[in-house]
Amino acid sequence: MNLIKIGGLYINLDQVTEIRDTGVDIEVFYRDSQRATTLRGWEAERLRSWLDSISRDLNADAP
């Protein structure tokens, strides 16, 4: 199991299918689920910062 902790929330990354950054909130979608977890405020900022540090921004490579 691959877990991350943000505040009192644990996210099982093995179950995550998509993460959407709305610019304000971050929505985390899970396999076999119709609902998402929405992170706001400092929790969204922490996850956004971590995602930015491990992700390659393909938009930055565009001409």
Give me the pLDDT at residue 58, please: 84
pTM: 0.84
Residue bearing tokens 């992170």? 39
Mean pLDDT, contiguous 10-residue spans, the chain (63 residues): 94 96 96 92 96 88 69
What pLDDT shows up at residue 54?
A: 93
| Structure tokens belonging to residue 52 | 């930015």
Report pLDDT for 43: 97
C-alpha distances in Å from residue 21, one per residue of 28, 29, 55, 62: 9, 12, 13, 20
